[in-house]
Amino acid sequence: MSIEEKQQEIIDDFAIYDDWMEKYEYIIELGKDLPLIDPSRKTDDRLIEGCQSRVWLDAAIDENKLRLTADSDAIITKGIIGLLIRVYDNESPEDIVKSNLHFISEIGLQEHLSPTRANGLASMVKKIKLMALSALAK
């Protein structure tokens, strides 16, 4: 499934919910399914700067695909990073770097986050793209 198809799947998933309380509950549920980072990898150099809560993100290359794991100490944030991992995990670094991430605005997530959470979301996306760029440079 391509990055574009994964984004469309998320847009379709969110379309079934009528209000933002239901959507927040869904985001929290997604956080419970997050591929968790190995506890030994929860180091300061894997913390995403610019997030109000603590978010750790780790990446590894497996057969030219970026494999992502993460964790957060906040349940909503865990769900948000889970959405990003759902889109970007197991994709080539080149596809990640070139991708246009539009599902966030299409589901209305950005406008329903506090300014600090929205800033954290932007930092998460930036960090994933930087990890993909770094993998390309190797």
Residues with a known catalytic role: 51
Give the C-alpha separation, 66 to 84, whole Å.
Answer: 13
Give the C-alpha separation, 72 to 32, whole Å.
Answer: 11
* Cβ count within 10 A of residue 62: 8
Cα→Cα distances 106→28, 93, 103, 130, Å: 19, 24, 5, 24
